[in-house]
Structure 1
């Protein structure tokens, strides 16, 4: 099944997931549904931490950590699924551990 999304709803293989924020992208990565939410829906002045993982049946598993860049610290796109890499607004490509949401490496790209 292809992952589909509209508004804050993600349709995953195990059912519908309400994520609470507008969804920009959602991907199935193994047994995970990785969801990138719109960073502009988060409070200003703090890291957005807008990348989440859910199980295929909708249980929340993790929220990716920020990389310490302050208010410009938000994920803007998923650029790879294997390994899981998300681009950051502060111009970093961040490799994310799919088991924990921990940033295992970051590469400045600008």
Structure 2
């Protein structure tokens, strides 16, 4: 079983440490990939979408960046909805379902 840990920008996969671009808010293994959601803080780019949901293989290689449900500049992912589902909560009040093999958005339900 693959073990992952994270702290600040460091993602640790089975003892191997990878420094990512931004501080990590959450990470979990889905479909043999490590899905990372970066934290939205003062270091992220302003005035454009924050592409903060990414998948890495176990060697730390970027596999995909998740699609967003809108094209607005303020779009970013906040977190996984809960510990059991792999749905993501989006800043624009969308519950998003991704294809975790490709990062393609399968469904987005507006909840506001």
Q: TM-score range by the shorter chain?
A: 0.7 to 0.9
Whichever structure has more helix as a proportion of its residues is: 1
| Contact 1:14 1:58 (C-alpha < 8 Å) held by counterparts | no
Classify 1:97/1:73 alpha carbon distance in 2 versus 1 (closer, same or farther; 3 Å). Answer: same
- Give the CA deviation at 1:80: 5.4
Number of residue pairs aligned between Structure 1 and Structure 2: 110
Could you state the TM-score of these two structures normalised by the residue count of structure 2? 0.86
- Give the CA deviation at 1:75: 0.2
Secondary structure at the aligned position of 1:10 is classed as: strand
Secondary structure at the aligned position of 1:39 is classed as: coil
Unmatched 5+ residue regions in structure 1? Answer: none
- Cα RMSD, aligned residues only: 1.9
Q: Distance in 2 between the 1:69 and 1:82 partners?
A: 28
User: What's 2:87 paired with?
Assistant: 85
Q: Distance in 2 between the 1:28 and 1:57 partners?
A: 13
- Give the CA deviation at 1:28: 1.2
Is 1:51 equivalent to 2:56 in the alignment? no
User: What's 2:7 paired with?
Assistant: 6
Unmatched 5+ residue regions in structure 2? Answer: none
User: What's 1:27 paired with?
Assistant: 28
| Contact 1:27 1:34 (C-alpha < 8 Å) held by counterparts | yes
| Contact 1:26 1:33 (C-alpha < 8 Å) held by counterparts | yes
Could you state the TM-score of these two structures normalised by the residue count of structure 1? 0.88
